[in-house]
């Protein structure tokens, strides 16, 4: 048996992601601290002005800017100090022309004041008089009421990923819960007669199952809730049972048995699972040719190669964008955090094929160099040695030593 048709990676990915696009993902409300890394299910609106009152951004004196115009070291503007505004309290007095009030960073501006002079540009003349040695413009050193957000403004749009700064913004608005997209559940299945569970000692010809550990970690990193369903022997019945159980979850990842040999039953069992079935069997990809992309009963199914390196590369190319899409994010982010580096060696790549090259990074002066880590895709230590991956797209025949590349750092 042979692969029916090897698909270019880009085409395979597009077809798969389009087939998996559809209904908007379900939402849930979570307490703010649990929202880190999650994606907003709807727009979050400011219930009130932020900041709720005009505040100073420096230590100094609240003034009317017009009173400082023309002030200089040689000819300071003289102002009467009428009060000191205490932190956490409303100002007691309105500010009249010719007056100043002492104020600390974050303090509330008194009525009548429109700017703050930094303490560095003032001199104390007596207990209640200062000289100002530099003019301020209206609004200078002031955070206006509602300048961060006005009541009714969108604080966060739908589909926005929550980071530390989003948590701070929501908390300052008094929003203690936020509606986020539910984490997709991911069923993970391993296949292979040779596999034993990690706590077992492998007998002759056996190896410990390890793909589930990596796939669980990657899915969790990508915001999903992974569940390992166990390993299936290389029999139709064993694979069928676990695949059916996996349809309870939002996404199915099954590794091993995805090629076209006599013991490779995964594609046959996925094809039986439901409609529309297999979209892609075989990708023009190295490592990762035996890739299966399918949709069964509305559930995305990714058949990953058994070789540990291939499984992780295929996860990154197809499952990671799927999980982003299922969480309301663009499958292809508009920008990715990459390191620009120069390749140390020529790397060949067949035309039409996408190559994912493991690289180790090292800095030399102002430049970062990417050294290919060679080794078979069954050797998991090669990924441990690698700092990142360089993708050689199908349109390119290879990379020359010294060429600049984008390295996707393996987190
Ligand atoms: P397969 O895709 O089933 O032909 O497997 C390719 C290679 O990957 C074989 O050497 C398998 O023993 C190995 N392999 C498959 N599944 C796993 C797994 N879950 N953990 C570790 N190695 C695996
Ligand atoms: Mg196998």
Calculate how far, in angstroms, residue 383's C-alpha sits from the geometric centre of ligand 2: 20
**For residues 179-204, average pLDDT:** 97
**For residues 242-256, average pLDDT:** 98
Residue 138 neighbours by CB distance under 10 Å: 10
pLDDT at residue number 310? 98
Calculate how far, in angstroms, residue 306's C-alpha sits from the geometric centre of ligand 1: 3
pLDDT bracket for residue 23 (50, 70, 90)? confident
**For residues 209-230, average pLDDT:** 98
> Which of 257-266, 305-314, 360-369 comes out lowest in average pLDDT?
257-266
| Burial of 182 from C-beta contacts in 10 A (0-12 / 13-18 / 19+) | middle
Calculate how far, in angstroms, residue 305's C-alpha sits from the geometric centre of ligand 1: 7
Residues in the chain: 411
The answer to whether the CB of 378 is under 6 A from ligand 1 is yes
At CA 393, angle to CA 377 and CA 223, rounded to 5?
70
pLDDT bracket for residue 411 (50, 70, 90)? confident
pLDDT bracket for residue 211 (50, 70, 90)? very high
Best residue among 200, 226, 230, 256 to mutate for probing ligand 1's pocket (most ligand atoms within 8 Å of CB) is 256
Calculate how far, in angstroms, residue 194's C-alpha sits from the geometric centre of ligand 2: 8
**For residues 271-275, average pLDDT:** 96
pLDDT at residue number 22? 84
Torsion sign (Cα): 138, 142, 147, 151: negative
pLDDT bracket for residue 3 (50, 70, 90)? confident
The DSSP-derived string for 294-357 is EEETTEEEEEE-SSHHHHHHHIIIIIHHHHHHHTTS-SS-S---EEEEEESS-EE--TT-EEEE
In this model, does residue 17 exceed pLDDT 80? Answer: yes
For residue 231, which ligand has an atom nearest its CA? Answer: 1
Best residue among 194, 206, 255, 283 to mutate for probing ligand 1's pocket (most ligand atoms within 8 Å of CB) is 255
Contact (Cβ atoms closer than 8 angstroms) between residue 410 and residue 389: yes
Q: What is the pLDDT of residues 59-103, one digit of tens each?
A: 999 999 999 999 999 999 999 999 999 999 999 999 999 999 999
> Which of 16-30, 69-83, 135-149, 200-214 comes out lowest in average pLDDT?
16-30
**For residues 316-336, average pLDDT:** 94
pLDDT at residue number 41? 96
Residue 92 neighbours by CB distance under 10 Å: 12
Residue 234 CA: nearest ligand 1 atom is 3
The answer to whether the CB of 40 is under 6 A from ligand 1 is no
The two tokens of residue 108 are 């509330």
Q: Whose CA is nearest to atom 15 of ligand 1?
A: 306
Calculate how far, in angstroms, residue 409's C-alpha sits from the geometric centre of ligand 1: 25
Best residue among 260, 306, 309 to mutate for probing ligand 1's pocket (most ligand atoms within 8 Å of CB) is 306
The answer to whether the CB of 305 is under 6 A from ligand 1 is yes
Q: Whose CA is nearest to atom 6 of ligand 1?
A: 306
pLDDT at residue number 120? 98
Report how far residue 230's alpha carbon sits from residue 187's, in angstroms, rounded to the nearest whole number: 9
The answer to whether the CB of 291 is under 6 A from ligand 1 is no
**For residues 169-184, average pLDDT:** 98
Report how far residue 95's alpha carbon sits from residue 111's, in angstroms, rounded to the nearest whole number: 6
Q: What is the pLDDT of residues 366-391, one digit of tens each?
A: 999 999 999 999 999 999 999 999 99
Confidence (pTM)? 0.93
Task: Report the percent of the chain where pLDDT is more than 90.
Answer: 95
pLDDT at residue number 96? 98
pLDDT at residue number 1? 57
HSE, side-chain direction, 13 A CA sphere, residue 219: 25
The answer to whether the CB of 258 is under 6 A from ligand 1 is yes
pLDDT bracket for residue 2 (50, 70, 90)? low
Q: What is the pLDDT of residues 348-362, one digit of tens each?
A: 999 999 999 999 999
pLDDT at residue number 25? 78
Calculate how far, in angstroms, residue 392's C-alpha sits from the geometric centre of ligand 1: 25
Best residue among 3, 189, 190, 192 to mutate for probing ligand 1's pocket (most ligand atoms within 8 Å of CB) is 192
Cβ contacts of 347 within 8 Å, gap of 6 or more: 355, 357, 372, 390, 392, 398, 399
Q: Which residue has the tokens 């400082």?
A: 68
Contact (Cβ atoms closer than 8 angstroms) between residue 304 and residue 310: yes
Q: Whose CA is nearest to atom 4 of ligand 1?
A: 257
Residue 255 CA: nearest ligand 1 atom is 16
pLDDT at residue number 127? 93
């Amino acid at each position: 048996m042979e692969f029916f048709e090897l698909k270019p990676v880009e085409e395979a990915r597009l077809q798969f992601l389009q087939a998996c696009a559809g209904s908007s993902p379900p939402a849930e409300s979570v307490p703010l601290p649990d929202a880190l890394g999650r994606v907003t299910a709807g727009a979050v609106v400011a219930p009130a002005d932020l900041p709720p009152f005009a505040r100073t951004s420096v230590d100094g004196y609240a003034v009317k800017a017009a009173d400082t115009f023309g002030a200089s070291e040689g000819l300071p503007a003289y102002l009467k100090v009428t009060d000191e505004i205490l932190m956490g309290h409303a100002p007691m007095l309105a500010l009249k022309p010719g007056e100043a009030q002492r104020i600390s960073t974050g303090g509330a501006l008194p009525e009548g004041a429109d700017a703050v002079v930094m303490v560095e540009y003032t001199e104390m003349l007596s207990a209640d008089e200062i000289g100002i040695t530099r003019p301020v413009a209206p609004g200078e050193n002031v955070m206006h009421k509602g300048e961060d957000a006005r009541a009714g403004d969108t604080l966060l749009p739908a589909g926005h990923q929550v980071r530390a700064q989003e948590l701070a913004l929501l908390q300052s608005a008094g929003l203690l819960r936020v509606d986020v997209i539910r984490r997709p559940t991911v069923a993970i299945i391993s296949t292979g007669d040779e596999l034993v569970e990690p706590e077992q000692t492998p007998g002759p010809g056996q190896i410990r199952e390890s793909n589930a550990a990596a796939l669980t970690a990657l899915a969790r990193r990508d915001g999903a809730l992974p569940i390992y369903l166990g390993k299936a022997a290389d029999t139709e019945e064993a694979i069928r049972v676990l695949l059916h159980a996996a349809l309870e979850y939002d996404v199915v990842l099954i590794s091993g048995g995805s090629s076209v040999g006599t013991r490779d039953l995964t594609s046959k069992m996925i094809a039986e699972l439901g409609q529309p079935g297999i979209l892609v069997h075989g990708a023009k990809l190295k490592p990762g040719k035996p890739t299966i992309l399918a949709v069964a009963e509305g559930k995305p199914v990714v058949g990953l190669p058994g070789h540990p390196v291939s499984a992780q590369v295929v996860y990154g190319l197809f499952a990671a964008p799927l999980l982003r899409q299922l969480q309301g994010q663009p499958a292809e982010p508009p920008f990715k955090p990459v390191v620009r580096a120069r390749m140390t060696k020529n790397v060949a790549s067949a035309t039409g094929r996408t190559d994912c090259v493991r690289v180790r990074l090292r800095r030399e002066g102002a430049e970062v160099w990417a050294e290919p880590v060679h080794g078979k895709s069954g050797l998991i230590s090669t990924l441990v040695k690698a700092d990142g991956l360089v993708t050689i797209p199908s349109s390119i025949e290879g990379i020359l030593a010294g060429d600049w590349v984008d390295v996707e750092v393996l987190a």
